[in-house]
Amino acid sequence: MKLLFPLLMLASVADSARILSVFPISGKSHHGLFQATLKSLAARGHHIVNYSPYKLDKPMANYTDILLENIEPPDRSLTRARLELFMKMPKIGLAIFLWMGMNLPGQAFKDKKVKELIESNEQFDLVIIEAMFTQEAFLGFGHKFKAPVISLHPFGSFGVVNKAAGNPLSLSYIPDLAFSSSDHMSFLERFFNCISILSSLIYYYTVYTPKIDVLLKETFKDPTMPPVTDMIHNISLYMTNAHPNVHYAQPYTPNIVPIGGIHLSSERKPLPADMKKFIDEAKDGVIYFSLGSVVPDHVLGQEFFDMVTKAFQKLPQRVLWKTGWEHKSLPDNVRTAKWMPQQDILAHPNVVLFMTHGGIFGQHEAIHAGVPTLCIPVFGDQTLNARFYEERGIGAELPFQSLSEERIISSVNKIVSNPKYKENMKRMSKIYEDRPKSAAESFVFWVEYVVRHNGAHHLRPASSLLPWYQLYLVDVIAVLLLTAALMVVAVYFVLRKIFRLFRRNTKPSKSSDEKKRN
């Protein structure tokens, strides 16, 4: 028995992998998924080397943060004019997001620490990145270190991911990432969803990836570097931030693993004393309001904060508002703070409504806690998530462009006064929690699976490599149509020949006509 523990420790060390993760994206919400997944691997004994603009709040064993200082935070570049431009853009296709993120890899490659990594002779057993969302250039690290690659996605699987993984596009019932529809579409919705996905794929493979090829050649200076489309097809697994039992039901090929909810904390921390008292004493319940981390306060402006404050003042509920805006005076029923423990607040039984911008992480947290939502989408996938709340009867949408004091009050009362929203959310919360493995357990298993087998290309269906005309049987359909057309033509000529023969045989002869006349 004395030898057993050291042997187990040695076995654990021997099985541990050295994992490189490169996540330079500035959107902080994405890193909620990244850090949660990497922490689960570090806790398992694997050694993580993470290149990112954000460090862990608390250092962790087996986890090394390499801080990227060359990435511009979104709050510096986002202005009110740009925000309004985003909201006015048609919610079709991902071309705008790909175009906006085109500079991200170039910024990261200019970082001194990333340059040192490119020139290093380090060894890694696995590379984890967020490919398929403006970060495909970092697939070059998989080639350089001869390591399998896993792609993490803070969203569900969308058109570009599905195409690369060989997963069905499901054009008729799964809405595209930027398309605000449900899984029950009208004819026009199916038409525009089809346009959205197909236009994204055309732009991705004809405009976007060729530019990434140029960047890879300039950066790595490796003549053996394959085209980025080849490296995309060699991705071992796609891990998505979707929940298979709650989000729109769709097929998943074996190389797509939904791990939605992995960022959720399993432990409830006690709330600050003053906050707990504020919530506990709320006779009419508490509304928690947060617009996430993408849209900074200075972009919203004084008019927005005055309007929302006046609306909250007229509500019977108390309000916890996550914002860094400095208010000269606040109503007695409103408390603000630059940061709030969102998951712990939503878990409190007195919280009756979550007012949110509609981010996917807040969606997981609201469903997990069973709190109905009022969604104020701004851009990106938020309109899609708002439609999901309404489709499932667990919340309502209040468009940002039509915000007013009266609409805020009426929308809040609509949800709080109708018990169906709470009942539907509680039912969905039970479904959410009912899964054979936790998201973290599933993630760790599949990562270690990829490491054990030095990749998981055997999970990739042949559909990922088929040309579109073969995948959708266009060539077969063309041959069938051609065959049918030839048969129709052949039948036409046969019938025409028969008809002519028939007419010739039934036509009276000249001799018989002359006899009749005589």
Q: Which residue has the higher pLDDT, 287 or 298?
A: 287
Contact call for residues 241 and 154 (beta carbons, < 8 A): yes
Which amino acid, one-letter code, is at 379?
Answer: F
Task: Tell me what the mean pLDDT of segment 481-490 comes to.
Answer: 96
Q: How far, in Å, are 127, 425, 442 from residue 259 at the CA level?
A: 18, 20, 7
Structure tokens at 455: 């990749």
- The confidence band for 509, taking pLDDT boundaries of 50, 70 and 90, is low
Q: Which pLDDT tens digit goes with each residue over 443-468?
A: 999 999 999 999 999 999 999 999 98
In 325-437, which ranges are continuous DSSP H helix? 342-346, 360-369, 382-392, 405-416, 419-433
pLDDT at 46: 97
- The confidence band for 357, taking pLDDT boundaries of 50, 70 and 90, is very high
Contact call for residues 137 and 158 (beta carbons, < 8 A): no
Contact call for residues 425 and 370 (beta carbons, < 8 A): yes
Of the candidates 375, 370, 385, 372, which has an alpha carbon nearest to the alpha carbon of residue 415?
Answer: 372
Q: Which pLDDT tens digit goes with each residue over 179-213?
A: 888 899 999 999 999 999 999 999 999 999 999 99
- The confidence band for 507, taking pLDDT boundaries of 50, 70 and 90, is low
* Cβ count near 185 (within 10 Å): 19
3 state SS of 401: helix
| Whether the predicted pLDDT of 1 surpasses 50 | no
pLDDT at 313: 94
C-alpha span between 38 and 56 (Å, rounded): 10
pLDDT at 510: 55
Task: Tell me what the mean pLDDT of segment 101-106 comes to.
Answer: 84
> With the C-alpha atoms ordered 228, 230, 236, 238, is the resulting torsion angle positive or negative?
positive
Confidence (pTM): 0.88
C-alpha span between 515 and 505 (Å, rounded): 19
Three-state DSSP string of 153-215: ECCCCCHHHHHHHCCCCCCCCCCCCCCCCCCCCCHHHHHHHHHHHHHHHHHHHHHHHHHHHHH
Of the candidates 307, 272, 475, 291, which has an alpha carbon nearest to the alpha carbon of residue 406?
Answer: 307
Sheet with 373-375, edge to edge strand ranges: 334-337, 318-322, 286-290, 351-356, 373-375, 395-397
Structure tokens at 138: 């970092």
- The confidence band for 9, taking pLDDT boundaries of 50, 70 and 90, is very low
pLDDT at 450: 97
For residues 312-334, b (16+ Cβ closer than 10 Å) or e, as one string? beebebbbbbbbebeeeeeeebb
Of the candidates 329, 355, 475, which has an alpha carbon nearest to the alpha carbon of residue 415?
Answer: 355
| Whether the predicted pLDDT of 478 surpasses 90 | yes
The values of phi and psi at residue 238, to 5°, are -115, 120
pLDDT at 3: 35
- The confidence band for 74, taking pLDDT boundaries of 50, 70 and 90, is low
CA angle 56, 59, 65 (to 5 degrees): 60
Contact call for residues 139 and 145 (beta carbons, < 8 A): no
pLDDT at 512: 54
User: Residues of the chain with pLDDT > 70: what percent?
Assistant: 92
Q: Which pLDDT tens digit goes with each residue over 49-67?
A: 999 999 998 999 999 999 9
* Cβ count near 4 (within 10 Å): 8
- The confidence band for 517, taking pLDDT boundaries of 50, 70 and 90, is low
pLDDT at 77: 65
Q: Which pLDDT tens digit goes with each residue over 138-163?
A: 999 999 999 999 999 998 888 899 99
- The confidence band for 254, taking pLDDT boundaries of 50, 70 and 90, is very high
3 state SS of 19: strand
Structure tokens at 449: 């699976």
Name the range with the highest mean pLDDT among 84-93, 99-108, 375-384. 375-384
Q: Which pLDDT tens digit goes with each residue over 410-430?
A: 999 999 999 999 999 999 999
Max distance between CA atoms of the chain, in angstroms, equals 131
Q: Which residue has the tokens 């796609």?
A: 238
pLDDT at 75: 60
C-alpha span between 52 and 65 (Å, rounded): 7
- When the pLDDT of each residue in the chain is averaged and rounded to a whole number, the result is 89
- The confidence band for 4, taking pLDDT boundaries of 50, 70 and 90, is very low
